[in-house]
Amino acid sequence: MEKLQAAQQKIEEVKTRLEGITVIGEAQGVKVVVNGNKVVTNINIPQMIIDDGDKEQIEDLLLLALNRGLESAENVSVAENASAMKGVMPNIPGMGF
């Protein structure tokens, strides 16, 4: 039971740490900022892309930037969780710890 409580505490510590980590997904100037908890915190679309007025292009670039940012955030999250859980949780195959 002690190990479970230690693991829960580590998880909370990691969530707090991930809140302060940011990654950027980018596609042809469209930038999406995502924190380590996979929350989008900012989107920047250059004025020249908006001025082009190509709605479909903007949507495609935004989707690409979002997916890249979320993928990077997932990678950071997995690495941080794995690092925090070493020695706390037993080595269970497939758990990534």
| Predicted local distance difference test score (pLDDT) of residue 22 | 95
Domain harbouring 54, CATH code: 3.30.1310.10
Does residue 90 belong to any structural domain of this protein? no
* Predicted confidence (pLDDT) per residue in 16-25, tens digit: 999 999 999 9
23 — phi, psi (to 5°)? -130, 160
Residues of the chain with pLDDT under 50: 97
If DSSP codes are grouped into helix, strand and coil, which group holds residue 29? coil
pLDDT at 88: 63
pTM of the model as a whole: 0.78
Residue 95 counted as domain residue:
no
Q: In which domain, by residue range, is 78 found?
A: 2-85
Question: According to the model, what pLDDT value does residue 94 have?
Answer: 61
Number of domains in the chain: 1
| Residue 64 maps to a domain | yes
| Residue 59 resides in a domain | yes
